[in-house]
Structure 1
Amino acid sequence: MVDADTWLARARDAVARTEVGAAVERFGVVEEVADGIAFLSGLPDARLDELLSFEGGQTGYVQSLDSDRVAAVLLDHAEAVAAGARASGTGAVVRVPVGPGLLGRVVDPLGRPLDGKGPVEGIRQDPIERPAPGIIERAAITQPVQTGTLVVDTLFALGRGQRELIVGDRATGKTTIALDTILNQQEGDIVSVYVAIGQKTSAVQRVVQTLTATGALARTIVVVAGPATPAGLQWIAPFAGTTMAEYFRDTGGHALVVLDDLTKHAACHREIALLTRQSPGREAYPGDVFYVHARLLERAAKLAEARGGGSLTALPVAETDAGNLSAYIPTNLISITDGQIVLDSKLFNEGQKPAVDVGTSVSRVGGKTQARSLRDAAETLRLDYAQFLELEMFTRFGGMPDTRVKAQLARGARIRETLRQPQHRPIALSEEVCLVLALQAGILDVLPPDRVTAFRTALADHVSSIPEANSIGSAPLEEVLRQALVTALTRLADEVKGA
């Protein structure tokens, strides 16, 4: 119980510290609101991207400035804001929580929980728009990112700090490749962030269920901006997810961010631009759509040792229409990224999964990021497979190929069978090296093509029991180890053939 003298002393002190004088409060008034956009007057000091606070507790950010009013993109549903409502500038930009406390959580682009597990515990709030690291702050990309997908790791190796576009028609397995890459990081040191932009709720639920069932959710942050959410939330989603991933990069760790997908993000950007009456350009997209994605993807980098040596790898996803890679948004993203994995609907419908088109896919970082043991085992695998596809096309016109061509066709058929892989079953590096070595050494030539799958299954079940396979790592494949592996794999192939 506080006595009267103490209470009086506190009251006098509070009065003494109170500044007496006129207080100025600047606020704007909503003149018009529709489709997630609010036009306001009375905010002469508003700045681009400034966060606005509406009297009902809603928020939005300034998208464009006119001479007499500003256009704000709402981060809450437009029904909650009405004409005549007051809004004031906060002097801040949009920020999201970052830190290890977000791992294992499903959140919206503002960091608000969507999984019913209580409040999100972030270390601090970082702005969603951050400058990309400069040239001096970056280091060469030399460390691999093992995706667990054989065709990618073998033919189009990814490096830590790289930006690799996954592009293809709808329902060709783009999300599967990205998700399998996340699943393959469970035992590694890479933290993953999956950003769903405008994806169907059922598709996002399948992703979360897969991550939960495999235990990968514990090292993953899922950021969801569904198709029913305001356009403003969908627009900030990839930037918010990248900021969450940058925390781990900037603290010396390694992170992977999947942006699924930027085609929908570009459509959202176009929608906002048209509603705020910006000048349309090609295909009605605003002129800055390239800059929006460029400044986003440039934030992926491998930092120099002076900055901690962390890395942020980006896997943006883009959707094509009828395989048209020359469309506006795909060509923009191809020119920004360090390579692309192209998925072909024809291959997918033929049952070749993952449906990677090896002719148009490329990794511009090069094989120096590939695990050395896998590079030594693969040797000429990509060239052999490309020659097989070309020969197969020509032999469809008829004619009797000679013995050498028949042998190439037979070996190419086994390469194609080996590159098939069920979804959500990433392969360890040791198993990948054994499979590729069996191909290159001709061990699978004795098996009919339909028995190659049986060999893969047997290898997956027994690879841990092969002593030589346990010593496979990122180091070069020594000749002694190679010969020992060839002997063990030949014995396994004979067992499969006789079964």
Structure 2
Amino acid sequence: MTERASPSGWLEQSRRKLDGTALAPQAEAVGRVAHVADGIARITGLPDTVLGALLRFEGGQLGFAHGLGAEQIDAVILDETSAVEAGQAVTDTGEVLRVPGGEALLGRIVDPLGRPLDGGPPLETEQTLPVERPAPAIIDRAHVSEPVQTGLLVVDGLFALGRGQRELIVGDRATGKTSLAVDAIVNQTDTDVVCVYVAVGQPASAVERVIAAVHAHGRAERCIFVVGAAASAPGLQWIAPFAGMTMAEHFRDRGGHAMIVIDDLTRHAATHRELALLTREPPGREAYPGDIFYLHARLLERAAKLAPEKGGGSLTALPIAETDAGNLSAYIPTNLISITDGQIVLSAHLFAANQRPAVDVGLSVSRVGGKAQSPALREVSGRVRLQYAQFQELEMFTRFGGITNDRVRNQIERGRRIRALLTQPRYTGLRVADQVALLAGLTDGALDALAPEKIPRLRERLPGWLDAREPEAVRAVEESGTLAPEMRAALVDAVAALASEVDGGEGAAG
């Protein structure tokens, strides 16, 4: 009989195993579900649980502590709530909500917990990071000075975006807010910017259209899609913006550049109000809880341009908010406007008039502005916004009768050409050189003889025309971002020649 088979040998072997095992008491906090309804579970028996702690229910479902009381805690369930029942055991994992971060997320569609939704393999990421992270300190930030090109003339020329800026996109329903943000994502195809699109409470069909557009016109392999759709649990919708921000911060903190689109924060605020009312928090204005401002402030403050000693990375935020009947003074829009560094306001009236993007030039503003704009663009776009605003006022008065003053008539004709230039089809992003050439040609009169309805044809042909006629000027503007006088003259002459050709050879503008 061998030593293992004999009773004495088995006893000796067991003793050796016990001697090599560190025996110590282990405590595990276990509570019980007292009540569950509407995605909220009230739990007893977890007195030491902290706010935001990750909880695991008996059936494997996850949740997090949203409200702490003297006798019980309110937990938001992140999975299917039908499987959670009263009496089930709940374990405090000792962790907070965390999401994966790393290169493996690029090109993937995930839920706010980082679980794949695209049918692909499980994620194998470098690390996991907390969903709630502190914003960079003021001392760790740098000035916003590098531009983020959206390819849209109305944005890049009049309301420049900078790397590390937070620019709100706000407007009524179905005015092109998501379309503008998707155009900005598509235009990062040839840049080093990683894009994160976060859907909060959006219909699945709308999310599918966005993903399909990025796949068709951009580089989806450089994007991350975080989906907390309308059919998702409210808890998933609530953490979606924070999860997306954490995923984007991974690239910023390593010296890279990222841009996050949150679509949209109005629905996120409604979800926060829903959870607050279900957990019996005191309601405030419009039934929103008192911390609604802090909720979005701590989220958007995480977008920043880091100082060189911190790697010099940047995270640009494009949050979206929806208004009702153009009411910018509503509670949530005013909160977000006060937090962000400017807003791009979309008008239902302009959208109905077929001006796309329907950007209201008078109400939109960028508080970073020219500091982050290409010097060449800043030089040629100086008076365009003022001229367009004056034209909009004058056009309103022309409805009451004819204009006899030549100076006013010329202003109106110039304004119509500006409007035609700013109207731009989707997925037709312009290079900086193209935008500079168009605005320089407008300012120097190269488009004065061209009818406004022919300007879209000129804009469509311009990139190829400039590459063939003035490749050195294009290269100089794209590489240096500056515009020498001789380069400006060359670009204006090229625009004038193209305008003459588009116009059928009649009335070449000088």
Same fold? TM cut 0.5: yes
Structure 1 residue aligned with 2:116, among 113, 118, 126?
113
Matched, 1:470 2:475: yes
Distance (Å, rounded) in 1 between the aligned partners of 2:293 and 2:120: 37
Matched, 1:373 2:376: yes
Structure 2 residue aligned with 1:224, among 217, 222, 227?
227
Structure 1 residue aligned with 2:163, among 160, 165, 171?
160
Structure 1 residue aligned with 2:501, among 487, 495, 498?
495
CA contact (8 A) 1:182 1:192 kept: yes
Distance (Å, rounded) in 2 between the aligned partners of 1:218 and 1:199: 22
- Is 354-363 or 458-467 further displaced after alignment? 458-467
Structure 1 residue aligned with 2:128, among 122, 125, 128?
125
Distance (Å, rounded) in 2 between the aligned partners of 1:7 and 1:200: 63
Distance (Å, rounded) in 1 between the aligned partners of 2:312 and 2:10: 56
Query: Alpha-carbon deviation of 1:401?
Result: 3.3
- Is 318-327 or 476-485 further displaced after alignment? 476-485
Query: Alpha-carbon deviation of 1:461?
Result: 3.6
SS in 1 for 2:439: helix
How do 1:87-486 residues align onto structure 2 when only pairs under 5 Å count? 87-466=90-469, 467=471, 468-473=473-478, 474-486=480-492
Distance (Å, rounded) in 2 between the aligned partners of 1:118 and 1:298: 33
Q: Which runs of 5+ in 2 are unaligned?
A: 506-510
CA contact (8 A) 2:266 2:321 kept: yes
Query: Alpha-carbon deviation of 1:362?
Result: 0.1
Distance (Å, rounded) in 2 between the aligned partners of 1:21 and 1:386: 75
Query: Alpha-carbon deviation of 1:24?
Result: 4.0
TM-score of the pair, normalised by structure 2 = 0.95
Query: Alpha-carbon deviation of 1:7?
Result: 9.2
SS in 2 for 1:122: coil
Distance verdict in 2 for CA 1:12–1:138, change over 3 Å = same
Moved over 3 A (4+): 2-13, 17-25
2:278 is matched by which residue type in structure 1? L
Distance verdict in 2 for CA 1:25–1:117, change over 3 Å = closer
CA contact (8 A) 1:143 1:370 kept: yes
Distance (Å, rounded) in 1 between the aligned partners of 2:250 and 2:220: 18
CA contact (8 A) 1:262 1:316 kept: yes
Distance verdict in 2 for CA 1:57–1:490, change over 3 Å = same
CA contact (8 A) 1:141 1:365 kept: yes
Query: Alpha-carbon deviation of 1:18?
Result: 3.6
CA contact (8 A) 1:143 1:159 kept: yes
1:290 is matched by which residue type in structure 2? F
1:485 is matched by which residue type in structure 2? L
SS in 2 for 1:252: coil
Distance (Å, rounded) in 2 between the aligned partners of 1:423 and 1:459: 17
Q: Percent identity?
A: 58
CA contact (8 A) 2:465 2:498 kept: no
Distance (Å, rounded) in 2 between the aligned partners of 1:420 and 1:480: 29
Distance (Å, rounded) in 2 between the aligned partners of 1:120 and 1:460: 41
Q: Which runs of 5+ in 1 are unaligned?
A: none
Distance (Å, rounded) in 1 between the aligned partners of 2:90 and 2:171: 43
Query: Alpha-carbon deviation of 1:91?
Result: 1.3
Query: Alpha-carbon deviation of 1:339?
Result: 0.2
Query: Alpha-carbon deviation of 1:64?
Result: 0.5
